[in-house]
Amino acid sequence: MASKSLYSQRDPVLKKRDDFEDVLEERRNSSDLRYAFKCYTPVLYKSLNPCKPSMLKNIVLQSDPLQYVINQVCAESGEPVELVQEEAAAILEEMAHRLQLSTVRFFAFTLSKAFKSLFRSVCVNEEGIQRLQQAIHEHPVVLLPSHRSYMDFLMMSYILYTYDLTLPVIAAGMDFMGMKFVGEMLRMSGAFFIRRSFGGDKLYWAVFSEYVKTMLRNGYAPIEFFLEGTRSRTSKSLTPKTGLLNIVMEPFFKGEVFDVSLVPVSISYERVLEEALYARELLGVPKPKESTSGLLKARKVLSEDYGSMHVYFGQPVSVRSLAQGRINRSQYNLVPRHIPKKPANGIQSFVNDAAYQLVRLQEENMVLKPWVLIATFLMQNLEGMELSQLVEQTVWLRDLARSFGAFLDWPEHSSGSKVVSSSLSLHRNLVSVSGGQVRLQAGQPTGASAESPEATLFEQAVSALSCASYRNQILHVFLRPALLAVAMQAAASSRKEEVYNCFSFLRNMFSNEFILCPGEAVQDFDEACYLLMKCGAVQMLQQGIVSMETGQATLPFLCAILEPFLQGYQVVCRYLYEEATDNLTERQFIPAVRSFAVKLHLAGSLRCYEALSSDLQKNALAALLRLNAVKKVKTPDQVVLKVNKLAVNSLEDTLGGKIPTQKPVLARL
Distance, in Å, from the CA atom of 443 to the CA atom of 430, rounded to the nearest integer, reads 9
Question: Where are the alpha helices (H) located in 37-172, listed in sequence order?
Answer: 53-61, 64-77, 81-95, 101-118, 126-138, 151-162
Do 169 and 192 contact (CB within 8 A), yes or no?
yes
Which neighbouring-strand residues pair with 144? 264
Contact assessment for residue 432 and residue 438, using Cβ atoms and an 8 Å cutoff: yes
Confidence of residue 4 (pLDDT cuts 50, 70, 90): very low
CA torsion angle for 620, 626, 627, 631 (degrees, to 10)?
A: 90
Amino acid 220: pLDDT = 82
pLDDT the model gives residue 364? 96
Residue 173 is predicted with a pLDDT of 86
- Average pLDDT for 104-127: 96
- In whole angstroms, give the CA distance from residue 169 to residue 191: 6
Among candidates 66, 4, 11, which has minimal Cα distance to 534?
Answer: 11
pLDDT at 303: 82
DSSP β-ladder status, 223-224 and 630-634: unpaired
Instruction: Specify the range with the lowest mean pLDDT, choosing from 254-258, 259-263, 568-572.
Output: 254-258
Above 60 in pLDDT, residue 8?
A: no
pLDDT at 169: 94
Most confident of 185-189, 366-370, 444-448: 366-370
Write down the pLDDT at residue 658: 59
Between 469-483, 537-551, 562-576, the lowest mean confidence (pLDDT) is in 537-551
pLDDT greater than 60 at residue 295? no
* CB-based contact 606:655 (threshold 8 Å): no
Better pLDDT: 295 or 652: 652
- CB contact burial 614-628 (16+ within 10 A = b; e otherwise): bbbbbbbbebbeeee
Is 523 a residue whose pLDDT tops 80? yes
Could you report the per-residue pLDDT of 532-548, keeping only the tens digit for each?
999 999 999 987 999 99
Q: How many Å apart are CA 320 and CA 327, to the nearest integer?
A: 9
Average pLDDT over residues 122-140: 95
pLDDT at residue 3 in the model:
39
| The predicted structure's pLDDT at residue 182 | 81
pLDDT score of 661 more than 50: no
pLDDT confidence tier of residue 163, bands split at 50, 70 and 90: very high
- For range 250-264, the mean pLDDT: 94
Could you report the per-residue pLDDT of 311-337, keeping only the tens digit for each? Answer: 999 999 999 999 998 888 877 777 787
Average model confidence (pLDDT) for the chain?
90
> Can you state the angle between helices 475-490 and 554-578, rounded to 10 degrees?
80
Work out the burial of residue 530: count CB atoms within 10 Å of its CB; fewer than 13 is exposed, 13-18 middle, 19 or more buried: middle
Residue type, 397: L
| Res. 47: pLDDT tops 70 | no
When pLDDT is averaged across residues 176-191 and rounded to a whole number, the result is 82
Tell me: pLDDT of 666 over 70: no
Contact assessment for residue 45 and residue 139, using Cβ atoms and an 8 Å cutoff: yes
pLDDT of residue 10: 42
Whether the CA torsion 550, 552, 554, 558 is positive or negative: it is: positive
DSSP states of 198-220 = -TT-HHHHHHHHHHHHHHHHHTS
Phi–psi pair at 48, nearest 5 degrees:
-65, 155
Q: Which of 380-389, 432-441, 660-669 has the lowest mean pLDDT?
A: 660-669
What pLDDT score was predicted for residue 290?
Answer: 58
Separation of alpha carbons 256 and 270, rounded Å: 42
Higher pLDDT, 43 or 450: 43
Average pLDDT of the segment spanning 215-236: 92
Percent of the chain predicted with pLDDT > 70? 92
Nearest to 26 by CA among 138, 102, 122, 148: 122
The Cα-based distances of 143 to 155, 216, 221 in angstroms read 13, 12, 10
Give yes or no for residue 107 having a pLDDT over 50.
yes
pTM, full prediction: 0.93
pLDDT in tens, 372-429: 999 999 999 999 999 999 999 999 999 999 999 999 999 988 999 999 999 999 999 9
Mean pLDDT, residues 231-250: 95
Q: Report pLDDT for 294.
A: 53
Q: State how far the alpha carbon of 241 is from the alpha carbons of 56, 284, 355, 563, in Å.
A: 26, 24, 8, 28
Q: Among 57-66, 86-95, 653-662, whose mean pLDDT is lowest?
A: 653-662
The confidence score (pLDDT) of residue 45 equals 77
- Binned at pLDDT 50, 70 and 90, residue 64 comes out as very high
pLDDT reported for residue 178:
67
* pLDDT given for residue 657 in this prediction: 74
Assess whether pLDDT exceeds 80 at residue 197.
no
Give pLDDT tens digits for 593-643: 999 999 999 999 999 999 999 999 999 999 999 999 999 999 888 999 999
pLDDT in tens, 276-291: 899 999 999 987 665 5
**Rounded CA gap, 185 and 172, in Å?**
13
**Which of these, 316, 326, 343, lies nearest to 254 by C-alpha position?**
343
Give the pLDDT mean for 349-373.
Answer: 97
